[in-house]
Amino acid sequence: MTTRSRRAVITGIGVLSPIGSDAAAFWSALRAGTSGVRAIRGFDTSDLSCRIAGEILDFEPKALIEKSYRKSLNAMSRMVQLGVVAAQLAVRDSGLMKSLMPPERFGVSFASVMAETDIDDVAGLGAACSAGVGRPVDMDAWGRTGVPQMPPMWMLKYLPNMPACHVTIMHDAQGPSNSITTGDLAGVAALGEALRALQRGAADFMLVGGCESKLNPLTLVRLDVFAPLTREYEHPERAVRPFDRDASGTCVGEAAAAFGLEELAHAQKRGATILGEVVGFASGVDRGLTGAGLARVIRNALADAGVQPADIDHVNAHGVGVRELDRFEARGIGEVFGRDVPVFAPLSRFGNTGAASGILELACSVLALRHGELPGTLNHDDPDAGCPIAVHTGPPQVVTKPYAVKVSTTDMGQCGAVVVKRWDNA
């Protein structure tokens, strides 16, 4: 192992979520146990089997985005807009002045996906060359009259590296830049990569973010045919039930979250407010979803941080509300922590936000450590006997220890863990 004399602290948070779109509103909704899972309002869902989601109802990119960048919004899908605005909120929160930051020391590490096309963008060209549903496309018409109708910047609305690229341009961030696409693991992976970049001295400030909007008709119908979405949602806010005996599946959401992650001495020199420290990271695969591989990854992250399970206030789990996946996650967490460390799973409040989930969910723990209170998990009423963990529910409980562990997992067993520490002016 290399010596790690450089430390990484969080100096800014930006959140756009179904339960609040600034850090203060987000925290008060978390404390209050507010759910952001509702019937979808953005478009007609009558032909979908799952009609609920964590939808952001108050997102007004035009009002939020820096004026000079407003016209670029047209070239961004909703995912990109969310990512760019969350990044802007995080930079603003960190108090970073563009003129004071050497641009080559400012990097970007973002989690995202290939966004699905807006139907309006392909409707016209579809009409130009379709001979009807189920029929071959008229490729001659496609070439001659279809393609010319495609918006010139169509591809750039949806590519996964667009959030990071816009962020580099908006903030003159010329340092290392990457866009990680590993599904629900991507956020934690992006954070881990940024942590290592700061530790090895490749940058002094890393904008770390994640964004995804699954609230798109094409995304939702695709997920409808293969993803374990709940069909039981008479009460949307009760539908996603992490580690619960009555777990019936998950639902999707949309969000973006970003951290300003900064080398400690750099942050202290400019007098930045420090919100927490990222002290450990590890990742790996648990191919059989047994939990043993996840436990190994968690132990590696604890070792990287130099802490023991007894130092941990709580584990922040993904908890998607799908029995097989929750049991996998619980076995891994349980193997390391038993029932001694409470588990908090914020996802039941806003649905699975995919590439945004790692940073968004971790933001809950950073805020909990900072405020000294851990909110309760929603919709965990009857523990699933297959989940050997103690899930914290009900009203907020007092934070008693300085560290939290964020766990992210995918349905293919890809997993990552990050250890964060409360900032005590130490």
Partner 1 sequence: MRRRVVITGMGVVTPLGHTVAELFANQTEGRTAVGPITRFDARALPTTFGSEVKNFDLRRYTKDADRFARCGLNTKFAIGAAKQALEDAGLLDTASGDRTRIGVYLGVGEGPDNFPALVNSAAAAVVGDRAGSARFVAAIRPALDPRAESEVEMHTTVGHLSRLFALDGPNASCLTACAAGSQAIGEAAELIRAGDADAMAAGGSQSMLHPLGVAGFTRLGALSHRNDSPATASRPFDLTRDGFVIGEAGGVVILEELEHAKARGATIHAELTGYGSTADAYRMTDPHPAGKGAIRCMANALADAGLNATDIGYINAHGTSTAANDAMETTAIKAVFGAHARKVPVSSSKSMLGHLIAAAGAVELVISVMAIQKGVLPPTINYATPDPVCDLDYIPNAARGVRVDHVLSNSFGFGGQNVALVVSRFRG
- CB of 357 within 8 A of CB of 187? yes
Considering only 123, 246, 268, 324, the residue that binds partner 1 (CB under 8 A) is 123
- Contact range with partner 1 by CB under 8 A, out of 56-64, 81-89, 140-148, 311-319: 140-148
Considering only 24, 127, 265, 310, the residue that binds partner 1 (CB under 8 A) is 127
Considering only 6, 7, 196, 238, the residue that binds partner 1 (CB under 8 A) is 196
Helix (H, G, I), strand (E, B) or coil at 385: coil
Residue 186 in the binding site for partner 1 (CB under 8 A): yes
* For partner 1, the closer CB: 176 or 309: 176
Which one, of 346, 325, 343, 348, lies nearest residue 333 by Cα?
Answer: 343
Residue 221 in the binding site for partner 1 (CB under 8 A): yes
Binders of partner 1 in range 225-284 (CB under 8 A): 225-227, 281-284
- Taking phi over 0 as left and psi of -120 to 50 as alpha, with beta for the rest, 310 belongs to alpha
Which one, of 137, 288, 195, lies nearest residue 8 by Cα?
Answer: 195
CB 14 to partner 1: min, Å: 19
Residue 299 in the binding site for partner 1 (CB under 8 A): no
Rounded to whole angstroms, how far apart are CA atoms 396 and 373? 6
Which one, of 59, 86, 84, 88, lies nearest residue 72 by Cα?
Answer: 84
- Contact range with partner 1 by CB under 8 A, out of 11-19, 40-48, 89-97, 252-260: 40-48
- Contact range with partner 1 by CB under 8 A, out of 86-94, 266-274, 343-351, 407-415: 407-415
- CB of 368 within 8 A of CB of 374? yes
Long-range contacts of 164-170 (CB under 8 A, 24+ apart): 164/83, 164/108, 164/109, 164/110, 164/112, 166/69, 166/72, 166/76, 166/80, 166/83, 166/84, 167/83, 167/84, 167/87, 167/108, 167/110, 167/207, 167/209, 168/108, 170/66, 170/69, 170/84, 170/87, 170/88
Residue 70 in the binding site for partner 1 (CB under 8 A): no
Residue 69 in the binding site for partner 1 (CB under 8 A): no
* For partner 1, the closer CB: 178 or 397: 178
The number of residues in the chain equals 426
CB 186 to partner 1: min, Å: 8
Considering only 22, 73, 181, 270, the residue that binds partner 1 (CB under 8 A) is 181
Binders of partner 1 in range 153-172 (CB under 8 A): 153-156, 159-162, 164-166, 168-169, 171-172
Binders of partner 1 in range 78-97 (CB under 8 A): none
Residue 290 in the binding site for partner 1 (CB under 8 A): no
Residue-by-residue DSSP string for 275-294: -EEEEEEEEEE-TT--SHHH
Which one, of 83, 87, 62, 72, lies nearest residue 160 by Cα?
Answer: 83
Considering only 178, 248, 290, 397, the residue that binds partner 1 (CB under 8 A) is 178
Which positions ≥6 away from 104 have C-beta within 8 Å? 174, 175
Residue 331 in the binding site for partner 1 (CB under 8 A): no
Rounded to whole angstroms, how far apart are CA atoms 404 and 374? 11
Considering only 41, 70, 92, 200, the residue that binds partner 1 (CB under 8 A) is 200
- CB of 188 within 8 A of CB of 283? yes
* For partner 1, the closer CB: 172 or 340: 172
Q: What does residue 423 show for φ and ψ, rounded to 5 degrees?
A: -90, 120
270 is written with which tokens?
């400019």
* For partner 1, the closer CB: 66 or 373: 66
Considering only 126, 383, 386, 396, the residue that binds partner 1 (CB under 8 A) is 126
* For partner 1, the closer CB: 62 or 226: 226
Considering only 99, 100, 136, 398, the residue that binds partner 1 (CB under 8 A) is 136
CB 154 to partner 1: min, Å: 6
- Contact range with partner 1 by CB under 8 A, out of 14-22, 173-181, 233-241, 382-390: 173-181
Q: What does residue 310 show for φ and ψ, rounded to 5 degrees?
A: -70, -15
CB 412 to partner 1: min, Å: 3
Q: Which amino acid is at 289?
A: L
CB 34 to partner 1: min, Å: 27
Residue 77 in the binding site for partner 1 (CB under 8 A): no
Residue 39 in the binding site for partner 1 (CB under 8 A): no
Run of H or E residues at 254: strand 252-263
Considering only 75, 95, 397, 401, the residue that binds partner 1 (CB under 8 A) is 75
Residue 25 in the binding site for partner 1 (CB under 8 A): no
